[in-house]
Each structure stands twice: as structure tokens, then as C-alpha cells.
């Protein structure tokens, strides 16, 4: 029985995705190790270090379905690592003793690190695909709602008018930066490892570096500048990147969750029969995707902290920190994929109530436009004086429960400077959106 939400039959499709799990499951991980062993044999055969026949046999038999996984698991418990057992499996599967040429000059961590580099490379492709889809959806929301005003909120209170299109553009901009970060990250982390027992490749003599370079070319990975057995910044950077992605998604989820509250009611997750239902309250429509995104973001942040801790490796081979990565790297990728999947589902079908946005914008009876009035008066009486005059009008409107317009026009100092028509223009939210349109255009241009 599974004990983690990412593997659970109940929860796994809420906290992850099948394509991402398939990249990191046990069979896929072991197959990556086998792929590295087979590629090593092929390049060494080309360099004349092992027989061509042995390389062909190892390549043919380095398949997970030919391995005794129970035997590998049993030996791993004793040895502490799976590679020795896997090499025994290759030897047993190969005919005529040709499997004895496998793992020539390699060390366990070479195989495991290169295997995880292959997984990271492919997992980042899945992440990028989800990010691209999300960016398209957010761009469409920004364009569609660029003229739909709503209350901007600071410290959870009405501040100034914004548009929902600008809000969507603000959500979109970090996603564009995430794709930039991913493109920059990939060549740093999709890098293999082949350095031998203590990082010198001494077992292969003068051919060691040639084998390392050829192996990376064979696998489509970058060539390492130096051994990274104990230089784990690439792994840590990868997990920190995933934490950034889920953090940005969590901001979107937080906004939508708050917009779904009964008192606000401005946007809603897609309606699916029974989704977000309560066991006791039939009226409920809970923000399930938002909750899952916020949960996965918190978990991924903790994994980022663990990956940073794992950088503290001792000498030429770590005594424990490396093992932390075995847990946090796969889980962080699965959680991030789950968060992206939830975000794409939620935003693709987001229900936006522009009428409710306008009603909420108007609920303060003009108070949200106080800055606009102040700026309209400032050229006539000075900014400080205008601030104090409008402040007093706001206090009067709040005390009397009247519209700000009435309080403004009740002040002779304001009436002297502004006509009722001018006050009405200043109190219209669509006249005080500043550079929102241009900001949206800039984000959309970057998205294109």
C-alpha cells in the first residue's frame, strides 16, 4: 500500500500527474541506470576498450524486464545502493560472460547521477510544456478582461481600481520568467557524471576523459567541467526552481481562493458536478484546485530546503546528504507537475463574474476613488491640502453612510475648484486605470 500522497491510489492524481510519475517510478529509474551502463559499453567499444560483441550484448540485455527486481531490492538493502545488484543482473542476463565488460571503470554514483540527469532533462520538458499551456491561458484571460474594472486590494482592503486583465497579466509575467529560468537551467543541470571512484578516472588511464565526453554525447547530456559527486548545486538549483514555480502558482491560487469567498464572489474554479462539495453542507463549492496548489507549494518549498542541506557533502563522497536527493528530487517534480496540472485545469475553465466585480468596486460608495479626487484637486490647491480635504470628506462619508460624491460637494472648498461633472468624472473607476492597458500589452508582447 502506498503511504505518500504522490503514490496513493486516492490522492496521486490530485498531487501529481501520471506522465511525471512514470519518469520517476522505480522501474523507470532502474532503466535509466541500465541505459547509462549500455551507453558506457557502446562508447568504450568504439574506443577499443571493450569488445564490440560485449557492447552489443550489454545493450540488448540492459532492459528492466530482464532483471530480477526482487533480487536487486534484496541486495540493495545489504549494499545500500542498487548499482552493484544491477550490474550483477546485467552479467546474468548476458550470454557467454559478455556482461562482465559492463560498468568498466565506473562507480555507483556515476551511474546514479547520470541517470538522474536524464530524468531531470526529460522532467523539465514536461514542466515547460505545462508552463507554456498556462501562459497561453493567462494571456487569453488578460486580453479578454483588459477592460473589466475591479477593486484593487492592498492589505485585504479596497485600494484603487484595477482590471482583471491586469491581474491576469501580473499572474502571467512570472510564468514567462519561469520559462526563461528553465531554459537557462537546463544546460547547467542536464549534465552527466563519469569520474570514477574518487573523481580522477584513474582506472581508465589516459582514456578516462575521452570516455566521459563520449558517454555524455551518446546520452545527449552536457559534459561536466569537473566531477560533481560532491558539488550538488545543480540538483539544489533544480529543486529551488520547482519551488519558485509552485510559489508563483500558489500566488494565483491564493487570489482565486479569496475571490471565491462568498463575500467577494468575483471568480470561481470550473464547475464540475460534485467537485468541492461538502459532506454536510449542500451549498458548498470549495476551492479544491487552489487548496491543492497551495499545499503542493508548501511541500515543494520544504524539499528545496532539504536539497540545499544536501549540498553539504564531505570530501570526495558524501556520507548521507546525497541520500536526501533520492527522496526530494522525484517528489518535488511530481508535486510541481501536480500543481501545474491543477492550475491549468482551473484557469482554463475559470468563471469570471465581471458584474460582481463592478458591484464590489462600487460598494465603498466612491471611497475607492479618493486618490483620483485628490490628484484632481492637487493642481488647484496643492497636494497636501488636497489630501487633507479629501481625507475629511472620506471621514464624513463613512460617518454619515453617504456616497463620497455627496461629501465632496458638501465642502465649499471643493465646490469652488470642481464642478459636479468634474467630480463625477474623477469618481468613475474606468477613468483611473493609469497605464494598465500598456502594462498588459507589454506582458502579452513578451508572451508572444
User: In terms of Cα–Cα distance, which of 213, 198, 191, 197 is closest to 116?
Assistant: 191
**Distance from the first to the final alpha carbon of the chain:** 46
Helix (H) or strand (E) holding 136: helix 108-144
What is the SS3 assignment for 267? Answer: strand
Among 4, 198, 203, 278, which one carries the catalytic annotation?
278
* Cβ-proximal residues to 436 (8 Å cutoff; 6+ apart), any chain: 146, 162, 163, 165, 166
- Would you tell me how many other CB atoms lie within 10 Å of the CB of residue 244? 19
Among 317, 356, 358, 425, which one carries the catalytic annotation?
317
Sort residue 269 into left (φ over 0), alpha (ψ -120 to 50) or beta. beta
Spatial separation of the C-alpha atoms in residues 180 and 327, rounded to whole Å: 27
**Catalytic residue flag (residue 317):** yes
Spatial separation of the C-alpha atoms in residues 231 and 249, rounded to whole Å: 30
* Torsion sign over Cα 51, 52, 54, 55: positive
Spatial separation of the C-alpha atoms in residues 254 and 179, rounded to whole Å: 22
Q: How far is CA 346 from CA 86, 171, 175, 253, 271, in A?
A: 43, 14, 16, 9, 10
Reduce the secondary structure of 102-113 to three states and give it as a string.
Answer: CCCCCCHHHHHH
Spatial separation of the C-alpha atoms in residues 411 and 408, rounded to whole Å: 6
Instruction: Give the residue numbers annotated as catalytic, written as ranges.
Output: 278, 317
Amino acid at each position: 500500500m502506498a503511504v505518500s500522497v504522490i503514490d496513493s491510489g486516492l490522492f496521486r492524481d490530485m498531487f501529481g500527474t501520471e506522465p511525471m510519475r512514470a519518469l520517476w517510478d522505480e522501474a523507470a529509474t532502474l532503466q535509466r541506470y541500465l541505459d547509462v551502463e549500455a551507453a558506457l559499453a557502446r562508447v568504450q567499444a568504439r574506443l577499443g576498450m571493450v569488445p564490440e560483441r560485449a557492447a552489443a550484448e550489454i545493450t540488448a540485455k540492459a532492459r528492466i524486464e530482464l532483471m530480477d527486481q526482487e533480487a536487486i531490492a534484496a541486495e540493495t538493502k545489504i549494499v545500500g545502493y542498487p548499482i552493484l545488484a544491477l550490474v550483477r543482473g546485467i552479467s546474468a542476463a548476458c550470454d557467454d560472460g559478455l556482461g562482465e565488460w559492463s560498468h568498466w571503470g565506473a562507480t555507483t554514483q556515476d551511474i546514479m547521477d547520470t541517470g538522474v540527469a536524464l530524468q531531470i532533462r526529460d522532467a523539465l520538458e514536461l514542466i515547460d510544456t505545462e508552463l507554456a499551456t498556462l501562459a497561453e491561458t493567462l494571456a487569453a484571460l488578460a486580453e479578454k478582461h483588459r477592460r473589466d474594472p475591479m477593486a484593487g486590494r492592498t492589505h485585504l482592503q479596497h485600494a484603487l481600481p484595477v482590471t482583471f486583465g491586469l491581474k491576469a497579466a501580473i499572474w502571467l509575467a512570472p510564468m514567462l520568467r519561469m520559462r526563461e529560468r528553465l531554459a537557462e537551467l537546463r544546460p547547467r543541470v542536464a549534465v552527466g557524471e563519469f569520474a570514477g571512484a574518487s573523481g580522477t578516472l584513474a582506472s581508465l588511464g589516459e582514456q578516462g576523459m575521452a570516455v566521459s565526453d563520449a558517454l555524455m554525447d551518446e546520452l545527449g547530456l552536457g559534459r561536466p567541467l569537473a566531477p560533481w559527486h560532491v558539488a550538488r548545486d545543480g540538483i539544489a538549483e533544480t529543486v529551488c526552481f520547482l519551488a519558485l514555480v509552485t510559489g508563483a502558482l500558489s500566488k494565483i491560487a491564493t487570489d482565486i481562493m479569496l475571490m471565491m469567498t462568498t463575500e467577494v464572489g468575483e471568480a470561481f474554479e470550473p464547475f464540475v458536478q460534485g467537485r468541492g462539495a461538502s459532506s454536510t453542507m449542500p451549498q458548498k463549492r470549495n476551492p479544491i484546485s487552489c487548496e491543492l496548489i497551495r499545499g503542493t507549494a508548501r511541500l515543494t518549498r520544504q524539499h528545496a530546503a532539504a536539497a540545499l542541506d544536501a549540498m553539504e557533502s564531505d570530501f570526495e563522497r558524501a556520507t548521507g546528504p546525497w541520500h536526501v536527493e533520492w527522496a526530494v528530487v522525484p517528489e518535488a517534480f511530481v508535486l510541481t507537475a501536480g500543481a501545474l496540472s491543477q492550475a491549468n485545469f482551473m484557469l482554463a475553465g475559470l468563471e469570471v463574474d465581471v458584474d460582481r466585480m463592478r458591484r464590489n468596486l462600487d460598494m465603498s460608495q466612491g471611497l475607492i476613488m479618493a486618490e483620483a479626487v485628490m490628484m484632481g484637486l492637487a493642481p488647484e490647491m496643492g497636494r497636501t491640502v488636497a489630501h487633507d480635504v479629501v481625507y475629511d470628506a472620506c471621514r464624513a462619508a463613512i460617518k454619515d453612510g453617504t456616497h463620497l460624491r455627496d461629501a465632496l460637494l458638501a465642502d465649499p472648498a471643493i465646490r469652488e475648484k470642481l464642478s459636479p461633472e468634474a467630480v463625477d468624472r474623477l469618481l468613475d473607476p474606468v477613468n483611473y486605470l493609469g497605464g494598465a492597458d500598456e502594462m498588459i500589452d507589454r506582458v502579452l508582447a513578451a508572451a508572444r
